[in-house]
Amino acid sequence: MPFNILEDAPKFYKDYAKVAGFSTRVWSTNKKENEIKNQLIRCSREGKWKSKISPTKKTNPTAGLNCPARIYIHTLKDVGAWIISKVVFHHSHPCCPTQAEMLKQHRELSMSVRRTIENNEEAGIRPSKTYQSFVAAAGGHRELNFIEKDVRIGITSREKCGMFQNKKMQKN
């Protein structure tokens, strides 16, 4: 399958991953003369991590499961297109399409939710209360495609951006 630009291939695999019930990460990118030649994108549950914490005490003991699922993308020099040359579909863990939207990669705050978070922050309403208002309006936690942590991250990232702009203005 050919792609005109490199960004289209990872987006295609990310969309497939959301439908199939897993998340992805770029594992490696090879460059030659500052031009990307190929890219390997794998399931986010690839690898096997060694931990100092015993498996019985871990809260998420299945994080690294040596999952072999991946795609390999490389460029065709003469055509200038990107193609998927190798694909491994098999996963070493169960995939759950119904819960895929709650994986970190697939969670997203809409513009209206972001605006409500901004308004509530300016009014002094705590993030937990803001999240609870979204839960009540949606009819439950399962109806939202984000978690309370996303609301908190949205507020702190906005604050950091504002502090950066203030420092920039003070220098001028």
pLDDT tens-digit readout, 134-159: 889 888 877 787 888 888 876 666 55
Task: Give residue 29's pLDDT.
Answer: 77
- What's the pTM? 0.60
pLDDT in tens, 61-102: 555 567 888 888 888 877 778 888 888 887 777 777 777 676
Task: Give residue 58's pLDDT.
Answer: 65
Task: Give residue 63's pLDDT.
Answer: 55
Decide if 40 contacts 53 (C-beta within 8 A).
no
Which residues, listed in sequence order, are joined to residue 88 by a DSSP beta bridge? 70
Using DSSP bridges, classify how beta strands 24-32 and 70-76 pair: parallel, antiparallel or unpaired: unpaired
| Cβ neighbours for 77, distance < 8 A, ≥ 6 positions apart | none
pLDDT in tens, 50-61: 667 776 666 655
pLDDT in tens, 9-40: 888 888 888 888 887 877 777 777 877 788 88
Mean pLDDT on 120-140: 88
| Cβ neighbours for 39, distance < 8 A, ≥ 6 positions apart | 6, 9, 10, 26, 28, 29, 30, 72, 73, 74
Instruction: Give me 79's structure tokens.
Output: 């055509």
> Which of 5-14, 96-105, 124-133 is the least confident region?
96-105
Task: Give residue 171's pLDDT.
Answer: 55
